[in-house]
Amino acid sequence: MTISEHVPESNVDVLIIGAGPAGLMAACWMAHCGVTTRIIDKRGTKIFSGQADGLQCRSLEIFDSFGFADRAWKEANHMIEICLWNPGPDGIIRRSDRIPDTIVGLSRFQQITLHQGRIERFFLDNIKKYSNDTIKVERGVLPESLEIDETEVEDQSSYPVTVKLRHLTDEEATPQQQISGSKISDGLFRSNLTHTDDEDDLIRKNKSRAGTGEIVHAKYVIGCDGARSWTRRALGFELLGEATDSIWGVLDIIPITDFPDIRMRCTIHSTENGTLMVIPREDKLVRLYIQLKEVTPDASGRADRSKISPDSIFNAAKKILSPYKIDYEYCAWWTAYQIGQRVATRFDSHERVFLAGDAVHTHSPKAGQGMNISMNDTYNLGWKIALVAKGIAKPSILSTYQSERRKIAQDLIDFDHRFSRFFSGRPAKDIMDAEGISMGEFKEAFEKGNLFASGLSVNYEPSNLVSKAVGESKEVLSDATSSANAFTKQSLAKGLPIGMRFNSFKVVNQSDARPWHFQEKLRSTGQFRIVVFAGNILSPPQKKRLEDFCEALGAPDSFFRTSATSSPPLDAPIEVLTIHSAERVETNLMDFPEILHPYNPHTGWDYDKIFVDDVSYHEDTGKAYENYGVDKERGCVVVARPDQYVGWVGDLEDFKDLQRYFEGCLMLSLRA
């Protein structure tokens, strides 16, 4: 910036760089938690077609917790079955297997497909609603420099990250997205085959005009600026890993074909022509992922992009699908990419600047993981930053972002290695063909892969947010984890593994008899939840146990009282929900201690906090205790973190340990 130029300066709690799925998920948390936030993107618009399209069960559970899963669920194509096609003894492809797309019973949602642009739209609407329009994506804005004042990073009231921003013209913010003479949206401009970093160029041009600069001082910065992340480069972090030789083309078309499984998810291995993956989409669209056998990288490792066009990709698809015929009139989008599997060396600097999404991991898109894992990164990070920025949680919880998510990124790369090998290899001719891929193994890998891909196998390690022993032993935990004792009573709720997401079963509202999936009550408000499995409260000794627990909870010095703030919407950072196992018709709301269904002088009792594991009129209920592995007489207590992961399991008598859990992660003493 020139010295004579007046450069406006401002402070903000959170600055998010990049408004793709990862950045929008972070902004969504900030909107729901009421944190002052800015989100910038160098591009002039969100994307309208192409890129990611698969939404996994866990992502839908998360969308539901923010209140917009129904929009995606209604608009999307539902993926129910996978068909595996392989060459028969005569070399002609035939269907060899069918398997369910989502493992049965894993979640209340199944995998769906809908393009990334719609998902970004749902986020934008939700952010607008919950932030009262105060958080808006500022488009055509990019960072020029980033500095962290290391002397200030320990001071929670400081704004130690200084970012210089540049405001672009509409023209500068619009990438060249269409190949000349074609009306088809071309994703090559963002593909790793052709993409070049344009930030330096944009900033140089922009600097020559006055009034385009701005300085922002932020408490926290989240770099969600994609695979070529400027933020990552500014921090000097690297992506480690490798690119493979496989080049894949992607076409989003409305196919005209006699192939019978075109509305199923299919993998089609041909004998000599490579592999094709069919992904049915919304509005009759089908995405084809096609291995481009005729395009190989040169000595420098880069493929010749001039050989790649919608026609060349489609011709490759036709060969694989033969003897079936396929044609199309409408193509919505196309691209090509080279598989690169990389993970960043670090995910944060000084726990003040964080990286998320493609900025810290890249891999092949066929398993539908890119967008999902990227959103899950910031779903993990967003509430932590929000609670620390609001002075509710201890800054030490921020280190769990890297410890929890870097492992997932590494698992993703390992998964992708295996998955890609199965996709890119040719089918084995017979049992002696060691270089070929056995189709039995392929099916097995696919089935196992589906669990990982669903996002529901995530199991976070011990920390001050996850109170469990390391392995079977109760080792003393170090660093971020030192404040947690390794208290663990997993056996009280075997169906709620500590470190995994709170599974959902149906329960019935005590007050109005309406059945709910319990997860619907774990909304993303930024609140921790204490789920009291109250057991059989018709038994006097059990009722006494519950009353003693509630008395401890209500004491003036309990974590429940001392965590309260005067900072809405998070004035009550902990919510208590109860599921009991006595018969609903034999019990009443008033039988329960008041703290479990609090009274408001203006609106009366809270009728939405006490649930029962009992039969209902129209739905299959009454199996929650059994499925959660909780004793129906004695119950137990479970803590769900704001992101629905189980953090602690104990008995009704273990109040002191519960108090210690919250002392380990929340700023209780300051307000006590």
Q: How far apart (Å, rounded) are the C-alpha atoms in residues 273 and 291? A: 8
Which range of residues in 14-22, 269-277, 520-528, 652-660 is near ligand FAD by CB under 6 A? Answer: 14-22
Q: Does residue 167 belong to the site contacting ligand FAD (CB under 6 A)? A: no
DSSP-based three-state secondary structure for 531: strand
Q: Does residue 456 belong to the site contacting ligand FAD (CB under 6 A)? A: no
DSSP-based three-state secondary structure for 528: strand
SS3 assignment for 395-450:
HHHHHHHHHHHHHHHHHHHHHHHHHHHHHHCCECCCCCCCCCECHHHHHHHHHHHH
**Cβ proximity to ligand FAD, 27 vs 665, nearer residue:** 27
53 classed as catalytic: yes
Interface with ligand FAD in residues 318-347 (CB under 6 A): 335, 337
Element of type H or E holding 71: helix 69-75
**Cβ proximity to ligand FAD, 27 vs 35, nearer residue:** 27
Task: From 507, 488, 524, 517, select the one nearest 641 (Cα to Cα).
Answer: 524
Q: Does residue 191 belong to the site contacting ligand FAD (CB under 6 A)? A: yes
Q: Is the peptide bond before 569 cis (omega within 30 degrees of 0)?
A: yes
Task: From 626, 568, 668, 450, select the one nearest 33 (Cα to Cα).
Answer: 568
Which candidate in 21, 160, 280, 365 is catalytic?
A: 365
Element of type H or E holding 661: helix 655-665
Task: From 607, 606, 489, 584, select the one nearest 537 (Cα to Cα).
Answer: 584
φ/ψ region of 471 (left if φ > 0, alpha if ψ in -120 to 50, else beta) reads left
Q: How far apart (Å, rounded) are the C-alpha atoms in residues 96 and 602? A: 64
Q: How far is the CB of 56 from ligand FAD (least distance, A)?
A: 9
Which tokens is 360 given? Answer: 């810290």
Q: Does residue 15 belong to the site contacting ligand FAD (CB under 6 A)? A: no
Q: Does residue 20 belong to the site contacting ligand FAD (CB under 6 A)? A: yes
Among 26, 28, 39, 40, binds ligand FAD (CB under 6 A): 40
Task: From 413, 293, 442, 419, select the one nearest 367 (Cα to Cα).
Answer: 419
Task: From 287, 325, 294, select the one nearest 312 (Cα to Cα).
Answer: 294
Among 14, 15, 33, 51, binds ligand FAD (CB under 6 A): 51
Which range of residues in 221-229, 394-402, 522-530, 640-648 is near ligand FAD by CB under 6 A? Answer: 221-229
Q: How far apart (Å, rounded) are the C-alpha atoms in residues 632 and 533? A: 9
Among 66, 109, 220, 230, binds ligand FAD (CB under 6 A): 230
Among 12, 16, 19, 290, binds ligand FAD (CB under 6 A): 19
Among 166, 190, 501, 641, binds ligand FAD (CB under 6 A): 190
**Cβ proximity to ligand FAD, 189 vs 516, nearer residue:** 189
Q: How far apart (Å, rounded) are the C-alpha atoms in residues 619 and 520? A: 16
281 classed as catalytic: yes
Among 28, 52, 522, 582, binds ligand FAD (CB under 6 A): 52
**Cβ proximity to ligand FAD, 87 vs 143, nearer residue:** 143
CA 8 to chain centre: 35
Which candidate in 38, 281, 342, 352 is catalytic?
A: 281
Which range of residues in 17-25, 63-71, 453-461, 622-630 is near ligand FAD by CB under 6 A? Answer: 17-25
**Cβ proximity to ligand FAD, 378 vs 511, nearer residue:** 378
| Start-end of H helices in 212-288 | 230-235
x/- string (CB under 6 A) for ligand FAD, residues 234-273? ----------------------------------------
Which tokens is 125 given? Answer: 């609407």
Burial of residue 67 (CB within 10 Å: 0-12, 13-18, 19+) is: middle
Interface with ligand FAD in residues 97-126 (CB under 6 A): 116
Q: Does residue 53 belong to the site contacting ligand FAD (CB under 6 A)? A: yes
**Cβ proximity to ligand FAD, 184 vs 428, nearer residue:** 184
- For residue 234, report the phi and psi dihedrals to the nearest 5 degrees: -65, -30
Q: How far is the CB of 327 from ligand FAD (least distance, A)?
A: 22
Q: Does residue 537 belong to the site contacting ligand FAD (CB under 6 A)? A: no
Interface with ligand FAD in residues 348-407 (CB under 6 A): 357-359, 365, 368-371, 374
Tokens 């609903």, residue located: 584
CA 483 to chain centre: 27
Among 32, 38, 42, 58, binds ligand FAD (CB under 6 A): 42
365 classed as catalytic: yes
Q: How far apart (Å, rounded) are the C-alpha atoms in residues 542 and 635? A: 9
Which candidate in 130, 220, 289, 460 is catalytic?
A: 289
Which candidate in 21, 41, 43, 53 is catalytic?
A: 53
Q: Count of residues binding ligand FAD (CB under 6 A)?
A: 37
Among 60, 127, 222, 224, binds ligand FAD (CB under 6 A): 224
Q: How far is the CB of 376 from ligand FAD (least distance, A)?
A: 11
DSSP-based three-state secondary structure for 28: helix
Q: How far is the CB of 573 from ligand FAD (least distance, A)?
A: 28
Burial of residue 282 (CB within 10 Å: 0-12, 13-18, 19+) is: middle
x/- string (CB under 6 A) for ligand FAD, residues 125-144? -----------------xx-
**Cβ proximity to ligand FAD, 225 vs 351, nearer residue:** 225
Is residue 487 a contact partner of residue 467, using CB atoms and an 8 Å limit?
Answer: yes
Which tokens is 528 given? Answer: 């921790």
Active site residues: 53, 281, 289, 365
Binding footprint of ligand FAD on the chain (CB under 6 A): 17-23, 40-43, 51-54, 116, 142-143, 187, 190-191, 199, 224-226, 230, 335, 337, 357-359, 365, 368-371, 374
